[in-house]
Structure 1
């Protein structure tokens, strides 16, 4: 296996991988939180400009475009409105980052242990490891993802007064399965997304490292992360929209900022209904801000991961010399 592909998998101990992944997820989430809120608000919006709106006595959607959504949230909910759902999201990213990178490393080692000539090529190893790691991290942290979406979907009128209150309400009125609404769409999305992301990232990293052109963020890691994220996110975006629509189902569905969210049940039926009533635009609503979010998020994640891992390895090296 080439050194470029093996680098991410063989750096650091399992504990260091978990720490670096968790820190990377935490930092990344804080940076992109406002874009995440904007994306969720747009994904839950089903109206075209000609449709009457149930939330207000006007025609048209609640939000119009990324900048319009940003300004409206600031005007009506203040700066803190852009960080709604940040507490469960930070917890999710903290856990997600650690689980994702540790699972990626573990699965990669298992695949590399397969004897020749059955050892898969580097690209297949990266895809399988990334997809498996993404599925494991998504499932383990899904309740936090659902809470993030529900809090981000709240307007000035709170649906849930606190995180604890939301946990109690969902448990009481929706049961344990209520915390996993839309998990099928989440896993269906994350498996190809993370597989494509890691395979593209590992392939582009040696190319960007030797690029004669100045790279964004001054790092080949960041540039490779940006390109890999944009390509992967666009490919699976309809499933992300489906997941968000399913996550706000339940007894509080008509109390969010979009009070006429349809009732959905199941991944396939949701995809078909969105396509039938909203078309391709409905499937990709919020894609622009999603790509704006995905690029810096992945760049910050990979850049932070590599730097934190580097600092820990350097620290260990100094200690061994003492």
Structure 2
């Protein structure tokens, strides 16, 4: 199966395989930081808040990445740091495959519509990245919601004992729309975030590639810088998405038992600003940026090398064997 190629960027099969490989490896590496980020995002108060503003009966109160890691290890064991990893792995594999495929297809479409090289490179990368992020978000959103809910539950009074039970329970109690809670802020975040990410990545990849950097190229460094820039500007929408994802009949059964009831993106933002201040929209930002660096570096570094390996295998007839 030798699909149409974009220069030396590989066939459709090779792009999907490389994207899935990158997503799988990246997710496993950063899973503990992802759990920490979700716990911090769902927390309505921190240790630095005045005592009068805290609800001490609302579950654990975390402060910082390392204390949260230690708290989870002490109370939930090492497996607590990989809660939600199964739906997350499935999400990352599917997300990366859809993302890179859509990015490539959108680039080809833009070349066909406007001519290759006619659009500024940054505009082309932004448009392709935004389209890729939106398509991948919609396609994998139910898995993202399941990942959040598993990461939010403790060992006592577990909300969902298994992935299968979670799917059946949400379908029964919340309907199909229950799997898409928070999709609005998710799309509002991912379009500019991924657009900026791919634009900065493509802009930085070649110049950084000429430098003598660890691991042999500037792919990883470009991925880190691009991810930090993109995520910082859109982080509040990510937090809003997490808060809405745990709404519904199980809202008060997670580790944080004082999660307020939110309805819609705008109302959620207003409530957080009124009760937690501007800082409330950035809970977990530090660990998110810490997570973004290795996640993006591993993803892009693995993708570039996996794609190269699959192209080499394809030249030996692997594509025909897989067809």
List aligned pairs for 1:1-322, cutoff 5 A: 10-49=8-47, 50=51, 51-55=54-58, 62-115=61-114, 119-157=118-156, 158-211=158-211, 214-319=212-317
More deviation, 32-41/61-70: 61-70
Alignment CA distance shift 1:281-1:204 (3 Å) = same
Runs of 4+ in 1 over 2 A off after TM superposition: 7-10, 114-120, 214-219, 315-320
More deviation, 188-197/264-273: 264-273
On the 8 A contact 1:221/1:302 being kept in 2, the answer is yes
Alignment CA distance shift 1:46-1:217 (3 Å) = farther
Aligned equivalents of 2:246, 2:93: Cα separation in 1: 23
Give TM-score, length-normalised by structure 2. Answer: 0.91
Computed over aligned residues only, the root mean square deviation of the Cα atoms, in angstroms, reads 1.8
Aligned equivalents of 1:276, 1:81: Cα separation in 2: 32
Alignment CA distance shift 1:185-1:75 (3 Å) = same
Cα deviation 1:255-289 (Å, max 9, x = unaligned): 00000000001011111111121112111100110
Residue 4 of structure 1 is matched in structure 2 by none
Alignment CA distance shift 1:10-1:180 (3 Å) = farther
Q: CA deviation at 1:210?
A: 2.0
Q: CA deviation at 1:207?
A: 1.6
More deviation, 271-280/136-145: 271-280
On the 8 A contact 1:10/1:105 being kept in 2, the answer is no
Cα deviation 1:89-138 (Å, max 9, x = unaligned): 00000100100000000000000112459942111010000000100000
On the 8 A contact 1:95/1:141 being kept in 2, the answer is yes
On the 8 A contact 1:225/1:299 being kept in 2, the answer is yes
Give TM-score, length-normalised by structure 1. Answer: 0.92
Instruction: Return 5+ residue gaps in structure 2 as ranges.
Output: 319-323
Cα deviation 1:6-25 (Å, max 9, x = unaligned): x9875100111001001111
Alignment CA distance shift 1:143-1:137 (3 Å) = same
Instruction: Return 5+ residue gaps in structure 1 as ranges.
Output: 1-6
Aligned equivalents of 2:304, 2:247: Cα separation in 1: 38
On the 8 A contact 1:21/1:98 being kept in 2, the answer is yes
Q: Secondary structure in 2 aligned to 1:265?
A: coil
On the 8 A contact 1:9/1:108 being kept in 2, the answer is no
On the 8 A contact 1:217/1:223 being kept in 2, the answer is no
Q: CA deviation at 1:216?
A: 4.9
Q: CA deviation at 1:298?
A: 0.6
Residue 3 of structure 1 is matched in structure 2 by none
Q: Secondary structure in 1 aligned to 2:113?
A: coil
Q: Secondary structure in 2 aligned to 1:114?
A: helix
Q: Secondary structure in 2 aligned to 1:113?
A: helix
Aligned equivalents of 1:220, 1:286: Cα separation in 2: 28
